[in-house]
Amino acid sequence: MDQRIFDLICPDRQTTAVIFASPHSGNEYPDDLMGRTILDSHAIRSSEDAFVHDLFAAAPQFGAPILSARFPRAYLDLNRGRDELDPALIDGVRRRYHSPRIASGLGVVPRVVSNGRAIYRGKLTQAEAESRIERCWVPYHRTLRDLMDKTSDQFGQAILVDCHSMPHEAVDSLVRSEASRPHVVIGDRFGASADTAIVQRIEALFRAEGLTVARNSPFAGAYTVQHYGRPGRGHHAIQIEIDRSLYMNEAAILPHEGYEAFRALITRVIAGIADIARPTVNRMAAE
């Protein structure tokens, strides 16, 4: 991994209050992770939201910036608070409160990847954990906060769309049949992180593409939407989870034959989302 820990791609001119982010699709695995892990180079990728940054790469074409992490979720989870430290992994950390995420090994420095497979043998030092947080978490969230504030100043609001993918089996326990299985899960913390009208319009865009959409179950949104979503201030944050099987072979972690068609579908959704928060004068000029 080089010195750039994220990519921020901005349009020549931002014309919408929407910001896209992909915190879990990074695929540059640092030496200090690969030198410590007991997993092979394929297994450690199982918690990666592979290709999500590419699916949403068209955002700048529609006047919206996109922020994407380069490092992987297995190294550091940007959708966690910096204080969500796992005492089962990090030496010297004391349990301060009960957190299901930490208990399951999914703190800010993850202990496991998918299916509960351990990343390390033994513990990391607290200094190692804090170093990752300072080098990766702090600048990413500083940049995201700056994007939200500048966008809000320019447009009077900011809408963060935090983009993720979910394993196909992630909703198995919730569905009665394949027909009711959601292709997309939209999380808004049960209405706490974004205005309902915005969420409804985003949901309608996915449905118009023939996708089945669920809201807040099983993913209501974690740290990012909880922290940045302040609808009363005009700061809205929505988490989007997309079924990986729609565009990739999950076992091989490779795009499948339907990838390009699905990316075109997502590009149409991006255009619609960007238009939700485009000032009327800009929309008329574009037409």
- Range scoring the smallest mean pLDDT among 29-38, 95-104, 231-240, 272-281: 95-104
pLDDT for position 287: 46
CB atoms within 10 A of CB 61: 12
Q: Quickly state the pLDDT bin for 285 (edges 50, 70, 90).
A: very low
Q: Is 244 inside a domain boundary?
A: yes
pLDDT for position 2: 45
Scan for tokens 């983009």, then name that residue.
163
Q: Is 109 inside a domain boundary?
A: yes
pTM equals 0.94
165: β partners: 242
Mean of pLDDT over the chain? 93
pLDDT for position 99: 84
Find out whether 1 and 29 touch, Cβ atoms under 8 Å: yes
Q: Is 287 inside a domain boundary?
A: no
Residue 179 has pLDDT above 70, yes or no: no
pLDDT digits (tens, 9 = 90+) for 62-74: 999 999 999 999 9
Scan for tokens 């619609």, then name that residue.
272
pLDDT digits (tens, 9 = 90+) for 34-46: 999 999 999 999 9
What share of the chain in percent tops pLDDT 70?
A: 94
Instruction: Return the CATH number at 48.
Output: 3.40.630.40
Helix, strand, coil % in the chain, rounded to nearest 5: 40, 15, 45
Give the C-alpha separation, 53 to 60, whole Å.
Answer: 12
Q: Is 217 inside a domain boundary?
A: yes
pLDDT for position 14: 98
Residue 282 has pLDDT above 60, yes or no: no
CA diameter of the chain: 59
CB atoms within 10 A of CB 271: 16
pLDDT for position 177: 65
Residue 230 domain boundaries: 6-276
pLDDT digits (tens, 9 = 90+) for 231-267: 999 999 999 999 999 999 999 999 999 999 999 999 9
Q: Where are the alpha helices (DSSP H) in the chain?
A: 31-34, 52-55, 100-103, 126-132, 138-155, 196-208, 223-228, 259-276, 280-286
Q: Is 282 inside a domain boundary?
A: no
Find out whether 4 and 70 touch, Cβ atoms under 8 Å: yes
pLDDT for position 284: 42
pLDDT for position 194: 98
- Domains in the chain: how many in total? 1
- For residue 9, which of 60, 49, 58 has the smallest C-alpha distance? 60
Residue 210 has pLDDT above 70, yes or no: yes
SS3 62: helix
User: What average pLDDT does range 82-87 have in this prediction?
Assistant: 95
